[in-house]
Chain A
Amino acid sequence: MTVQHKPQAARAVQVPAPMAMLAELTHRCPLSCPYCSNPVELTRKEAELPTEAWLDAFRQAADLGVLQVHLSGGEPAARRDLTELIAGARDAGLYVNLITSAIGVTRKRLEAFDAAGLDHIQLSLQGTNPEMADMIGGYRGGYERKMQAAAWIKELGIPLTLNTVLHRKNLHQLPRAIDMAVEMGARRIEVAIVQFHGWALRSRAALMPTLEQAEEASRVVAEARKRLKGVLVLDYVPADYHTATPKRCMGGWGMTGLNIAPDGQVLPCHAAQTIPHLTFDRITERPLRDIWYDGAAFNAYRGDDWMQEPCRSCDLKTKDFGGCRCQAMALAGDAAATDPTCAKSPLNAAVRAQAAEDQQGDGALVYRAFEDATKVPFGTG
């Protein structure tokens, strides 16, 4: 492919070196959460990058300036070479974080990860009891296995963050989730209200939190931050459908981090594949440095040349960067539009009306699945 090559000096935006890389090692996963951030078209095992390609990607990333790598999926533990990948990322000089459901991870494997130099684990929590967690994850018995793994992580002393995704069905469990994080010895909890792109859009009527829930969540988080100061750090992503301001897009598109998909496509954001006109370079075909500085997808929404009104003349554009490109794509049909969750978007009234309708609805959960698989809730993955 041909990409316009602009030397650094001629560029309108000074592009800093990336700080973080999300390595989506696989799309395979025992769970099938309806809000999965993987693309709707999942990559199969046969198309996954081999070990050596990942190890090379870690070295290239570290040379480029990346300091932290997040090993994610799908379920990264579905890769049999995970221990080797952890060791390789550490060797490259990276801080290695594992984002996992921990389901099916044995104590022996956790010990191997630990010995390979794993810095930190982010454990996902779908619910605070088996009924909720197994219903959301679509995997019976998953909760018990996760709790077992959490106990091992604590015994081994591997630093832990608990990751929760909250929505209408489980938002009432937030106070318990915070208590569980403390009991597990986590130093941090991520409280994220579900974001709607990809899979989650299909279950919007089942997942959309009510306005009352969104407000209650903010209250619970504020109270816990005070009460647990010095014990547990709370990182909070509030519901953007219910506020007048959109979610800020990282430090700007293509400015702080990059993602590598299981098949080696290098993405500016985990949801970038929902923007159909973007094309992505592959780590196996082009040096990472060139992809970061000159790749078409990375340059697509850097700076503000691409912005339309009302963002273009808005003071907040350097703060929120016009909101989420993927949400603009999903809701406005144009990735360069103002994020429709912004009160200044001409579509905002319609978005709010839809959200109000969705929160009354009782739509079914649509679970993520490989295209030809018939995944039934409570299957065994």
Chain B
Amino acid sequence: MTPVLPRGVRLHHDRVRDRWVLLAPERVIDLDPIGHAILSEIDGASAVGEITDRLAVKYDAPVEQIGGDVREYLAGLADRRFLDMVP
């Protein structure tokens, strides 16, 4: 599965509040550093597994642990239609 940010959903730096947010229809989703790290890896081409691998290296953490977190985070966004999962 490849996560893709659909049109109408944008990663945005909120300069006034100095934080990262996801802008979506009628919604502003405040991103914590983990959420921002995951979303920054989404490039429309990388599959969930590749994203997990990259984050595991970057944060020096076990792939199994990161994989679960990433999957759960992305599923939550997909349920709310902020993210498409492309097979």
Q: Which of A63-71, A347-355, A369-377 interfaces with chain B?
A: A63-71
A233 interface residue (CB < 8 Å to B): yes
Q: Distance in Å from the Cβ of A187 to the closest Cβ of chain B?
A: 4
Given A17-B16, A67-B14, A187-B81 contact (CB < 8 Å) = yes
A211 interface residue (CB < 8 Å to B): no
B7 interface residue (CB < 8 Å to A): yes
Contact partner, A68, options B7, B17, B28, Cβ 8 Å: B28
Q: Which residues of A contact B15 (CB under 8 A)?
A: 93
A300 interface residue (CB < 8 Å to B): no
B68 interface residue (CB < 8 Å to A): no
Q: Which positions 1-24 of chain B face chain A at CB distance < 8 Å?
A: 6-10, 12, 14-17, 21, 23
Q: Which residues of A contact B9 (CB under 8 A)?
A: 159
Contact with B along A178-190 (1 / 0, CB 8 A): 0000000001100
Considering only CB atoms and an 8 Å cut-off, how many residues of chain A contact the other chain? Answer: 25
Q: Which residues of A contact B14 (CB under 8 A)?
A: 65, 67
Contact B23 A67 (CB under 8 A): yes
Contact with A along B71-87 (1 / 0, CB 8 A): 00000001111000000
A230 interface residue (CB < 8 Å to B): yes
Contact B25 A159 (CB under 8 A): yes
Using CB atoms, name the residue of chain A closest to B75.
A230
A80 interface residue (CB < 8 Å to B): no
Q: Which positions 34-87 of chain B face chain A at CB distance < 8 Å?
A: 78-81
B26 interface residue (CB < 8 Å to A): yes
Contact A95 B23 (CB under 8 A): yes
Using CB atoms, name the residue of chain B closest to A161.
B25
Contact partner, A97, options B10, B16, B25, B28, Cβ 8 Å: B25
- Interface secondary structure of A, over-half rule: loop
Contact B6 A159 (CB under 8 A): yes
Given A17-B16, A63-B16, A230-B79, A187-B6 contact (CB < 8 Å) = yes
Q: Which residues of B contact A65 (CB under 8 A)?
A: 14, 16-17
Q: Which residues of A contact B78 (CB under 8 A)?
A: 230
Give the docked Cα–Cα distance between A67 and B24 (Å).
11
Contact A119 B28 (CB under 8 A): no
Give the docked Cα–Cα distance between A232 and B9 (Å).
15
Contact B17 A235 (CB under 8 A): no
A158 interface residue (CB < 8 Å to B): yes
Give the docked Cα–Cα distance between A83 and B16 (Å).
27
Using CB atoms, name the residue of chain A closest to B7.
A159
Give the docked Cα–Cα distance between A229 and B25 (Å).
17
> Could you list 14 examples of A-B contacts with CB < 8 Å?
A17-B16, A65-B14, A65-B16, A67-B28, A68-B23, A95-B10, A95-B23, A119-B10, A119-B25, A159-B25, A188-B25, A230-B81, A231-B81, A233-B81
A-B CB proximity, top 7 nearest:
A159-B8, A65-B16, A95-B23, A187-B81, A120-B8, A120-B25, A233-B81
Given A95-B23, A230-B81: 6 more A-B contacts, CB < 8 Å? A119-B25, A158-B7, A159-B25, A161-B25, A187-B25, A235-B26
